[in-house]
Chain A
Amino acid sequence: MTVQPDTTVDKATLTIDGFEITVPQGTLIIRAAEQLGIQIPRFCDHPLLDPVGACRQCIVEIEGQRKPVVACSVAVADGMAVRTQFTSKVADKAQKGTMELLLINHPLDCPVCDKGGECPLQNQAMSNGRSESRFRDVKRTYAKPLAISSQVLLDRERCVLCARCTRFSNQVAGDPFIELFERGALEQVAIYEDEPFESYFSGNTVQICPVGALTGAAYRFRARPFDLMSTPSVCEHCASGCAQRTDWRRGKVMRRLAGEDPEVNEEWNCDKGRWAFSYATEADRILTPLVRDEETGELTAASWPEALERAAAGLRIARDAGGVGMLCGGRVTLEDAYAYAKFARVVLGSNDVDMRARAHSAEELEFLTGVVAGHRDDVTYADLEAAPAVLLVGFEPEEESPIVFLRLRRLNQTRGLAVFAAAPFASPGTAKLNGTVLLTPPGSEPRVLAALGDGSAGGPGAAAASAMRRPGAVILIGERAAEFPGTFAAATSLAQTTGARMAWVPRRAGERGAVEAGALPSLLPGGVRADDAFARTGVLEFWGVDAPAAAGRDTAAMLSAAREGALGGLVVGGVDPADLPDPATALAALDAAGFVLSLEIRHSAVTERADVVLPVAPAVHKSGSYLTWEGRHRPFEETLRGTGALADGRVLHALADELDVDLALPTPEAARAELMSIGRLLAGATKSTGRLTGGATKSTGRLTGGATNTGSDFLPIGRLTGGATNTGPDFRSASSAGLRPDSPELRSGQALLASWRLLLDEGSLQDGEPHLAGTARRPVLRLSVGTAREIGASAGDLVTVTGAKASITLPLVVTVMPDRVVWVPMKSPGSAVRAGLGSAPGDVVAIAIGRPVN
């Protein structure tokens, strides 16, 4: 690595074991030694945690100083001469002495310890310890293990009390539910009895534990590190884009660890990314193609040729009977998304493709098409580093993009990044960010954002309005903004007024890639609008097809059309109908559609209704890439090879073949190469014709790694409102659409519904991991004190919220929030908003104390 000399920081030149090195003032001796390749043993030291100097393992000598010092806590000074264990007898003896003391109370259970083979204590005892212990007395023992949570277990006798876990939880995650208790040799890590260690980041404590004291319940006693194969991977859960390491053995994933990527996840990940992988090995996994037996109506196993033939035949008929819509879900890889996008246009001759398996709107589509697609002005983690303030709109980072949350928290802790959230209440995550909440009833987002823009906001809003005008301020807008008409427009307008930059942070890992791949009805790959004249001469010509006759339909429109018989068939990949805005319509559409083809990993409500089911590979069985919320390309290789599982793209390629079309996407590499070609094509076209106003020039910048951001062609807002769109609403009128909670239309006993997904909930990718589920936040219902009083409820009472279809009953937590707003989690145990309640955020629901009256 070449580091450019930085002349802005004062430097110090010192020697370590006689080797000279120049480092910035303030560098710790242990870090400077690392740069020279001198390894000083350590336990409590961790480069991402504040120094603590507790374990005393890293003792070195500084010439001229009476006492040796700990290298982890002492900063370098100019002219300092440091001598480590390699050149100092004092340091060497001190290190061996500390190691001996660490081991007197450490059990010699390496052969049965999960950490054995990858244990810093074991390794450093070999490199820097005595060969024999003089300890012949009684070791400290404890009952074991102690369950710190359902997923983290503690063997106290192994603990060296380095306080990495407690410091991580306190400093990084902001969840100080784990602390050192007692003192002396009885000092031990423990939890408060009434505050369980329910942190979304608790798995990191297991990973950074330098001994086998903390273990994950799912992995404990399952494997030895030296029997595992390790494959670098990318998390498939959210759009944060964590680098991971997947450890597997004999065709089975044993565990996943956070990978190191200083630009993205540093060295952390969330518990979902770490532990939610057993969904791929659940019993309901589909391993062979299935076709519906015409006589019995049951799905029966079929060979691939038979199933593909049946699927092709069905699609042919459906295509002629009104067309086929494609729903590919937000968990696709970039390459698979591209296959769906291309299949729709090339094979089905239609723009009816949409990856959005959640609340969506035409306004959002305009936003994605106009602002997000094509990498126009991507905000990155690095931009957050430099931002003075961040405004969160329709986005709860801790629940929806945990690494974004960790980054924001570090920035808030270290340099006071100001965080504002337009939200109905201060979530636990917002509180940990020391965030300011602009209390926003669901649906009032446009009004709140407008007030920030025109300077009419008072109180905390005034602070937010001024903060957003500081150079480098960032608006992070979540996919939930699609639930409230006018929000995207208001946010875009606010960005324009204040000069703040804006980034869209979807919840699922595949959504950003799907936008770039063109898996949206109005968008072609490379951020090209489907209705752009250039599309015909560019992308479609590249594909060798004519433009589809009609504009595309979004997910909801496709499902409506299918239910009404206007659409002949549906291809559904990786969509849970319960996630859709209207699950009932979705199921009815699947029932009504002439032909349903399902590409799935496991049995679902879709496969139940499908005519043909083609099994596809979960992330671990395929290669591909995701784009993070920033648009950063995150390729990953196949972890478990040779299982025969096929990626969606490969299946679609084979299916196209059966329909006599060469999709030309037999592999992810082929898809990536095509996307690059399109990128080059678009870049060239821009140069020659100047017809592309958007960021198509940069559309593949991340993919090829070559193109740079020219930054001059930020899409003007006028295009958003005036854009050629068939369904786009007029933003100016939409911004007043939300019903306000103080509206006279709301009566006592009624409230506006607010809801979002929690990180750990009933999502199908968390199936099969009860230890993880055990640390999910307890589902609660939130009301303001005024509203609670209005219905005669107080904290802890069961309160029932009744929507269009059914009720949800949860214990009440009285929260500072607008009156006549009720919040419940969207898809948690006992709280299914979409599929159960039948109401959507922003809807009016009834609230009453107690259980529902039958």
Chain B
Amino acid sequence: MPLTPVLTKRWLSPQSWSLRSYEELDGYTALRKALTVAPGELVTLVKDSGLRGRGGAGFPTGLKWSFIPQGDTGAGAKPKYLVVNADEGEPGTCKDLPLMMADPHSLIEGVIISSFAINANFAVIYVRGEAVHALRRVQSAVHEAYQAGYLGTDILGSGYDLEVVVHAGAGAYICGEETALLDSLEGYRGQPRLKPPFPAVAGLYGSPTVINNVETLCSVPYIVLGGAQWWKSMGTEKSSGPKIFSLSGRVEKPGQYEAPMGTTLRELLDLAGGVREGHELKFWTPGGSSTPYFTAEHIDVPLDFDEVAAAGSMLGTTALMIFDETDCIVKATLRFTKFYAHESCGKCTPCREGTYWMVQILQRLVDGEGTAEDLETLLDTCDNILGRSFCALGDGATSPITSSIQYFRDDYIALLPEHERAKLTVGAAQ
């Protein structure tokens, strides 16, 4: 499959992160172009491109921008903010950090154009605290951009001003949830906020705020340069453009692979040298640990938002964790669930208590101390969490459990002690 990299095209250039390299490779040309058009036209352009958010939910980016109230009265009269969600923390996901490492200026250019489009004069890049290396790259790129006049007052003589602050989080998965991120940014405990009001109306400091993912914003300059039609020529009808897929686990060459939306795992495995020698694909996550597992059956599902959903999972952050037949799905699920129990913010009961409980059940199962009722208890508890928790983190915690039982129930049963297994056999016979 021929690949023409877009988002990753500079990654292998020498000192790709420097302003000089960036400018040599079309850097900041989209910005010059964007500053000549009306902000509203940029919103329309992004809408027309069909760009959907790369943070996991796939919300149309242009539509999100259009929710920001404009004008001189009410919420429109307040300052507007752009917040970059660079708190990449979904297990298996590794696309925003390499983007910021290899090509930080493409993020900054995207930030400037997007801020201009929504009439924001202040933007924050909220970087995951542990990612000190990426943080430094972005900080120094922002510094370079200020020096070069891409940031600050009267950018490129356009009269447009933008201040950008790079903020380091303290390392909490929940702060990737946009409203928890805002609370964290304001100096509070990172816990999700009640909605409404939505951030588009009352976000950072109670002002209209757009929160976009790094990869989303990095896409914007290319759309400005290439146009909506060009962007839509890549990917599928409802999921346009290229996407960075992170492949990890039992593959020969794990890493980031940029491919159009709708590429299948089979095609991606071809690029990555296949499942490791002598082994077979057993199960995989299409979009990180919060998305229900897929199995070998799903190897030809086109990886775009709608096809993956139709097949029973979510595209998420296109973090493909590949497991083979040597991997125990119950152990993998226990490991994921431990992550959710550790990262639950504690605000709502279902997520806080449910993950605490399910870790113990899964641990017992793995230890061979499960009971015949445990599977039902797990499924029922997941049912009591999914759609009942405060934010999507709780929902995500149920994905590995429900999907693993759906596809690999026998693997669970095989872990039960003899006498417990017998109960299930009797139950089935009845």
* Interface, chain A (partner B; CB < 8 A): 51-57, 59, 66-68, 73, 93-94, 97-98, 100-102, 104-105, 134-138, 140, 160-161, 179-180, 182-187
Contact = CB atoms under 8 A, between A and B. Distances in A.
Contacts of B387: 66-68
A101 B189 contact: no
Nearest to A140: B356
B344 interface: yes
A55 B349 contact: yes
Nearest to B380: A97
Nearest to A51: B194
Interface in B314-369: 341-350, 352-357, 360-361, 364
B384 A183 contact: no
Contacts of B390: 53-54, 56
Interface in B150-174: 172, 174
A135 B357 contact: yes
Contact of B384 (A55, A97, A186): A97
B349 A73 contact: no
A74 to B, nearest CB: 9
Contacts of B421: none
Nearest to A105: B353
B383 interface: yes
A161 B355 CA distance: 16
B357 A101 contact: yes
A185 B356 contact: yes
A73 B194 contact: yes
A59 B388 contact: yes
Nearest to B192: A53
A37 B299 CA distance: 55
B346 A187 contact: yes
Contact of A185 (B341, B348, B350): B341
A132 B348 CA distance: 22
B346 A98 contact: no
B373 interface: yes
A183 B383 contact: no
Contact of A184 (B352, B364, B380, B384): B352
Contact of B349 (A54, A138, A179, A182): A54
Query: Chain A: interface secondary structure?
Result: loop
Interface in B362-415: 364, 371, 373, 377, 380-381, 383-384, 387-390
Contacts of A59: 388
B346 A102 contact: no
Given A55-B348, A97-B380, A105 B356 contact: yes
Nearest to A188: B346
Contacts of B348: 53-56
Nearest to B389: A56
A97 B381 contact: yes
Interface residues of B, number: 34
A185 B172 contact: no
B345 A184 contact: yes
Q: Which of the listed residues B174, B341, B357, B361 has the most CB atoms from chain A within 10 Å of its own CB?
A: B357
Contacts of A68: 387-388
A136 B373 CA distance: 11
A139 B389 CA distance: 21
Nearest to B189: A180
A56 B343 CA distance: 19
A691 B139 CA distance: 83
Given A51-B194, A97-B384, A56 B373 contact: no
Contacts of B345: 183-184, 187
Nearest to B188: A179
A46 B321 CA distance: 44
B202 to A, nearest CB: 14
B344 A183 contact: yes
Q: Which 7 A-B pairs have the closest CB atoms?
A: A187-B346, A97-B384, A137-B360, A101-B353, A185-B356, A184-B344, A67-B387
Contacts of B364: 137
B194 A161 contact: no
Contacts of A134: 373, 377
Contact of A137 (B343, B350, B361): B361
A343 B354 CA distance: 70
Contacts of B389: 56
A17 B309 CA distance: 34
A185 B346 contact: yes
A378 to B, nearest CB: 38
A182 B356 CA distance: 14
Q: Which of the listed residues B189, B347, B354, B387 has the most CB atoms from chain A within 10 Å of its own CB?
A: B347
A137 B350 CA distance: 17
Interface in B177-224: 189, 194
A97 B349 CA distance: 10
B352 to A, nearest CB: 6
Nearest to A161: B346
26 contacts: A51-B194, A53-B194, A54-B347, A56-B348, A56-B349, A56-B390, A67-B387, A93-B383, A97-B381, A97-B383, A97-B388, A98-B349, A101-B354, A104-B356, A140-B356, A161-B346, A161-B349, A161-B352, A184-B341, A184-B342, A184-B344, A184-B345, A184-B352, A184-B356, A185-B353, A185-B356
Given A68-B387, A97-B380, A180 B356 contact: no
Q: Which of the listed residues A59, A93, A137, A179 has the most CB atoms from chain B within 10 Å of its own CB?
A: A137
Given A97-B350, A183-B344, A184-B344, 18 more contacts: A55-B348, A56-B348, A66-B387, A68-B387, A97-B383, A97-B384, A101-B349, A101-B350, A101-B354, A104-B357, A137-B361, A161-B349, A179-B189, A183-B172, A183-B343, A184-B345, A184-B355, A184-B356
B172 A57 contact: no
Q: Which of the listed residues B174, B353, B384 has the most CB atoms from chain A within 10 Å of its own CB?
A: B353
A57 B364 CA distance: 28
A53 B347 CA distance: 9
A104 B194 contact: no
A184 B349 contact: no
Contact of A94 (B354, B360, B371, B384): B384
B196 to A, nearest CB: 9
Nearest to A59: B388
A4 B155 CA distance: 60
A404 B403 CA distance: 57
Contacts of A185: 341, 344, 346, 352-353, 355-356
A371 to B, nearest CB: 43
Contacts of A104: 353, 356-357
Contacts of B174: 183
Contacts of B172: 183
A392 to B, nearest CB: 30
A479 B133 CA distance: 64
Nearest to B344: A184
Contacts of A136: 371
A741 B357 CA distance: 67
A104 B385 CA distance: 14
Interface string B294-305: 000000000000
Contacts of B354: 101
Nearest to B377: A134
Contacts of A138: 360
Contacts of B353: 101-102, 104-105, 185
Contacts of A102: 349, 353
A184 B350 contact: no
Interface in B258-308: none
A26 B349 CA distance: 25
Nearest to B357: A104
Nearest to A98: B349
B20 to A, nearest CB: 43
Contact of A56 (B350, B356, B361, B381): B350
Contacts of B343: 183-184
Nearest to B395: A67
B336 to A, nearest CB: 15
Contacts of B381: 97, 101
Contacts of A184: 341-346, 352, 355-356
A292 B376 CA distance: 82
Nearest to A72: B194
